[in-house]
C-alpha cells in the first residue's frame, strides 16, 4: 500500500512518515515544501491513500493562506480525480475552519474542495479539525506555545505569557498518528463518503498549568525527582519536553556515597511510588542491619552473590535467602523484620534497590537492629 504524505517535512508529517515507514506492507512517499507540481502529479498517481498535511499558517502575506491551503488542496483533488481510481484522502484541517479569518476561511474552502472531490469520484474523504498538536519535532518560536515553552524552559531561557489563565486545546502527536494509521490500515470502517474524524483525547489546560508543569520537569531533575509521567497528559507533556533538551543535557551526574563497605547511589525519586537506588558491597561485607515499621524495599542482585538474613523483632524467628545474579530473584524487606545482606561472592556485589518511600532524613523509618 502506497501512502502519499503532503507536508512530509513538517511536524505532523515527519512523525507520520517515520511511523508508516516502519509499518509492514506500507510504503510512505512524501511531498515536501518546494517540490514541483510535476512531482506532485507523479506521486499522486502512485498513491493508494493521500494524507494531506501540507498547509500555511504563518505566511508573510495573507494571500498565501489561499494559495497554500485552499488552492493546493484543489490541485490535489484535480490530480487525484484524473487517476482512474478512487483515492481516499485524509485532511488535516483546523478547529479554526470557517472562522472569520483568512486562515479559517482557507481551511474551510479546502474542506469544500475535498467534499466536491468525494462527490465527483466516489472516494472517501476524512477531515480532521485539529486543535494545537504537541510532540517531538514541532518547531519552537513559530506557532506552538508548547514547543516554544519546552524549548526555552529546557534551556532556562525566558518565556512570555500574556494571559496565564487562557485555556488551550491540545492533541498529542502519537494519538494523532495512531488515528491516521488506524484509518489507513482499515481498523476503522466508515460508511459515509465524507467523514469528520475525532482525534482523542483532547486536553484542555491553562497556560499556567502548562508552564508550571514544564518548569517542574526542569527543576525536578537535579533533585532526582520525576512526575507521574506514565499516562495521559503528563506522559505526553514529559515526552514532548524531553525531546527539546539540548544534546549537552542528555546526561547528568548523580551523587555517590562511598565508604569502606561500598557505594550507595540514589537514581530516581517519584512523587507517590518511592525511589530507585543501587548499592554495592565488597566481598565479605554486610550492609543493612536495620528494620522498617512501614517502609518496604525490593532488592535485585545484578552482579555477584548475596545472603539476605531476617529476624522477626518479637518472635526472634530467623530466616535467610541466598541469591545470585545468575538467577535473578527479587528479595523483599518486610516491616517488623530486621534484615541485612552480605556479599558471599568473590567480586563486588551490586544490588538494584526500590524503596516504597523517598528517603526523608528527618523521618527515615530505618531503625538499627542486629540480626
Tell me, yes or no, whether 101 and 167 share the same domain: yes
Instruction: Give yes or no for residue 257 having a pLDDT over 90.
Output: yes
Tell me, yes or no, whether 53 and 189 share the same domain: yes
Q: Whole domain around residue 70: which residue ranges?
A: 2-210
Tell me, yes or no, whether 206 and 286 share the same domain: no
Tell me, yes or no, whether 199 and 75 share the same domain: yes
Look at residue 70 in the predicted model and tell me its pLDDT. Answer: 96
The highest-confidence range among 28-37, 56-65, 301-310, by mean pLDDT, is: 301-310
Instruction: Give yes or no for residue 58 having a pLDDT over 90.
Output: no
* Contact yes or no for 50/88 (Cβ under 8 A): yes
Q: Return all residues near 223 (Cβ < 8 A) that are at least 6 apart.
A: 269
What is the tally of structural domains in the chain? 2
Our answer to whether residue 103 is catalytic in this structure is yes
The pTM score is: 0.92
Q: Where residue 330 sits, what CATH number does that domain have?
A: 2.60.120.10
Q: What share of the chain is helix, strand, coil (3-state, %, to 5)?
A: 30, 30, 40
**Burial class (CB within 10 angstroms; exposed 0-12, middle 13-18, buried 19+) of 92:** buried
Residue 222 lies in a domain: no
Instruction: Give yes or no for residue 189 having a pLDDT over 90.
Output: no
Residue 131 lies in a domain: yes
Residue 17 lies in a domain: yes
Instruction: Give yes or no for residue 5 having a pLDDT over 90.
Output: yes
Instruction: Give yes or no for residue 59 having a pLDDT over 90.
Output: no
pLDDT (tens digit per residue) in 316-369: 999 999 999 999 999 999 999 999 999 999 999 999 999 999 999 999 999 999
pLDDT (tens digit per residue) in 131-162: 999 999 999 999 899 999 999 999 999 999 99
Tell me, yes or no, whether 186 and 267 share the same domain: no
Residue 216 lies in a domain: no
Q: Where residue 106 sits, what CATH number does that domain have?
A: 3.40.50.720
Identify the active-site residue in 103, 172, 244, 310.
103
Tell me, yes or no, whether 204 and 278 share the same domain: no
* Cα angle: 346, vertex 350, 355; to 5 degrees: 145
Amino acid at each position: 500500500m502506497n501512502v502519499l504524505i503532503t507536508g512530509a517535512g513538517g511536524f505532523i508529517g515527519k512523525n507520520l512518515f517515520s511511523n508508516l515507514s516502519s509499518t509492514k506492507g506500507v510504503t510512505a512517499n512524501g511531498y515536501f515544501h518546494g517540490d514541483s507540481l510535476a512531482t506532485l502529479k507523479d506521486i499522486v498517481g502512485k498513491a493508494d491513500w493521500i494524507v494531506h498535511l501540507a498547509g500555511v499558517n504563518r505566511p508573510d502575506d495573507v494571500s498565501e493562506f489561499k494559495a497554500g491551503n485552499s488552492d493546493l488542496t484543489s490541485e490535489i483533488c484535480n490530480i487525484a480525480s484524473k487517476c482512474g481510481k478512487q483515492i481516499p484522502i485524509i485532511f488535516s484541517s483546523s478547529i479554526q475552519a470557517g472562522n472569520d479569518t483568512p486562515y479559517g476561511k482557507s481551511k474551510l474552502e479546502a474542506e469544500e474542495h475535498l467534499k466536491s472531490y468525494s462527490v465527483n469520484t466516489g472516494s472517501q474523504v476524512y477531515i480532521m479539525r485539529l486543535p494545537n498538536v504537541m510532540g517531538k519535532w514541532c518547531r519552537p518560536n513559530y506557532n506552538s506555545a508548547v514547543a516554544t515553552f519546552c524549548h526555552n524552559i529546557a534551556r532556562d531561557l525566558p518565556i512570555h505569557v500574556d494571559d496565564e489563565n487562557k485555556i488551550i486545546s491540545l492533541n498529542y502527536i502519537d494519538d494523532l498518528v495512531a488515528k491516521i494509521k488506524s484509518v489507513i490500515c482499515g481498523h476503522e470502517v466508515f460508511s459515509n463518503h465524507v467523514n469528520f474524524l475525532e482525534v482523542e483525547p483532547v486536553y484542555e489546560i491553562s497556560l499556567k498549568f502548562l508552564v508550571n508543569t514544564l518548569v517542574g520537569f526542569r527543576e525536578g531533575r537535579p533533585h532526582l525527582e520525576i512526575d507521574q509521567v506514565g499516562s495521559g497528559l503528563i506522559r505526553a507533556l514529559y515526552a514532548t519536553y524531553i525531546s527539546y533538551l539540548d544534546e549537552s543535557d542528555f546526561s547528568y551526574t548523580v551523587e555517590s556515597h562511598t565508604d569502606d563497605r561500598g557505594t550507595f547511589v540514589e537514581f530516581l525519586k517519584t512523587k507517590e511510588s518511592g525511589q530507585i537506588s543501587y548499592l554495592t558491597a565488597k566481598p565479605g561485607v554486610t550492609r543493612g542491619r536495620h528494620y522498617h515499621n512501614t517502609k518496604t524495599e525490593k532488592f535485585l542482585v545484578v552482579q555477584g552473590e548475596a545472603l539476605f538474613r531476617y529476624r522477626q523483632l518479637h518472635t526472634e524467628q530467623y530466616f535467610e535467602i541466598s541469591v545470585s545474579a545468575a538467577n535473578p530473584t527479587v528479595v523483599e524487606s518486610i516491616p517488623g523484620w530486621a534484615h541485612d545482606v552480605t556479599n558471599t561472592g568473590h567480586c563486588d556485589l551490586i544490588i538494584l534497590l526500590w524503596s516504597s518511600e523517598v528517603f526523608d532524613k528527618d523521618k527515615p523509618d530505618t531503625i538499627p537492629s542486629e540480626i
